[in-house]
Structure 1
């Protein structure tokens, strides 16, 4: 059974978790399918933005409980410690592939985003969520810790005390609280509609500038204690954009009051 669908139209890749009857819970097949979906877009120059969503009543309820049974008797170290996807294992790649993509990723969240599902959402650049959505760093409920890239992603988004409280307790929290903590970008009535509207706005911007902006933001976040390096990278990236075909088309389109056409 298909776990993920990928549809590309007008430079927007719509990636949908398609296990709606199971609240898009993560079993081994779905973990592989999500990682493969993200990786399939890595070298696609036609894609300018990605919209990530889940079908049905929930974005993602986290790890499928039945998967615990499948792991019984296996050596966890043999499964988790090998770096099978660059600097990550498969579990970590599922959220991190969206951060690694060179184009913006917008996540639409409804119902619940628990455990691994919450960490997948953290990998996106922007998160829109419905007002009644519930979220949780669920792993402590099962006597484990977040291990799908959450500890690499959360410190960029919220405070240490918030991370500690949510990790230690596994308590559910509202998206209103998530927005206050910086874990959700906006609370909206129609998350997928809001995600698509933003994607359409991004898709008509300079493709090279958008990719450069995502890479520059990532550089700034990972070098936040090295101001000299960030300032130099900012200048280097700008120098590569200025006067190039995409930038010249943006200028021409603005002066001629028309939509830009990028080649």
Structure 2
């Protein structure tokens, strides 16, 4: 995949482009990508920009650190806050996680090394998680008197079921790569997380951008609904793409035995 210019959001977040794949890179190596207020603000800003870019078909969330994807919240900063400051900072912290969660295109986390607490929650906010053998994941918040507050109590049960999520949250234990794959905490175990995630993203990005966004919307909106309501969500998503330019191009390419050139509309 060809590389293009980087775009930096603040000091700690970089967005790189690989054709139709965007890579949102956590770049605070001096703190193992611990999420400070500034970094949270930058993640949210990068997500806003990516969400508005119709040329992006897939986003990969990755890290520059050799030993960590992200170790969670910046506890040094957080422990310096007064109670009032902590309350004021909360919306900024949440915006980073909801920014990733609400990206309209498919998202893939590339987990290398530690992904703990809020770091694992950033990965859980993605549609798919690709990890390598160095990965160690977990939600240790109850061991320090709080709870997962970046979506973990909601996203983990949706990924692995209520009982398994409860065991992981209540014990606050760390899970290494092989067990994480067996439990469904990660979706693929590969030799190198970033390379594997970008390879998967490229395969996804070969498909219709209109179809990808509609499929994600249907699956996300259908979660938690009964089957009948979920099928109505699916039908609405189908109707939104049934007469699109992408569908017309997909049919034409199939009939002409060629690769489609998606108009993205």
Query: What is the TM-score with the length of structure 2 in the denominator?
Result: 0.89
Q: What is the alpha-carbon root mean square deviation over aligned residues? A: 1.7
Within 5 Å, give how 1:94-243 maps onto structure 2. Answer: 94-223=96-225, 226-243=226-243
Structure 1 SS opposite 2:55:
coil
Q: How many residues align?
A: 253
Is the counterpart of residue 6 in structure 1 residue 15 in structure 2? Answer: yes
Structure 1 SS opposite 2:41:
helix
Contact between 1:59 and 1:110, CA under 8 Å: does it hold in 2?
Answer: yes
Is the counterpart of residue 70 in structure 1 residue 94 in structure 2? Answer: no
Which of 58, 71, 78 aligns to 1:61? It is 71
Deviation at 1:37, TM superposition (A): 1.1
Structure 2 SS opposite 1:228:
helix
Structure 1 SS opposite 2:222:
helix
Deviation at 1:73, TM superposition (A): 4.8
Change (3 A) 1:69 1:15: same
Deviation at 1:69, TM superposition (A): 3.0
> Who is 2:3 aligned against?
none
> Who is 1:85 aligned against?
none
Contact between 2:137 and 2:174, CA under 8 Å: does it hold in 1?
Answer: yes
Counterparts of 1:171 and 1:202, CA distance in 2: 33
Counterparts of 1:30 and 1:78, CA distance in 2: 16
Contact between 1:93 and 1:149, CA under 8 Å: does it hold in 2?
Answer: no
Counterparts of 2:132 and 2:250, CA distance in 1: 34
Structure 1 SS opposite 2:62:
strand
Structure 2 SS opposite 1:171:
coil
Contact between 1:119 and 1:150, CA under 8 Å: does it hold in 2?
Answer: yes
Is the counterpart of residue 34 in structure 1 residue 43 in structure 2? Answer: yes
Is the counterpart of residue 261 in structure 1 residue 256 in structure 2? Answer: no
- Specify every segment of 5 or more residues in structure 1 that has no aligned partner in the other structure, as ranges: 81-88
- Specify every segment of 5 or more residues in structure 2 that has no aligned partner in the other structure, as ranges: 1-9
Change (3 A) 1:21 1:215: same
Contact between 1:91 and 1:147, CA under 8 Å: does it hold in 2?
Answer: no
Contact between 2:136 and 2:175, CA under 8 Å: does it hold in 1?
Answer: yes
Change (3 A) 1:131 1:139: same
Is the counterpart of residue 15 in structure 1 residue 17 in structure 2? Answer: no
Greater shift, 164-173 or 235-244, is seen at 235-244
> Who is 2:34 aligned against?
25
Q: String of CA shifts for 1:70-102, please: whole Å, max 9, x gaps.
A: 21453644544xxxxxxxx33223222222111
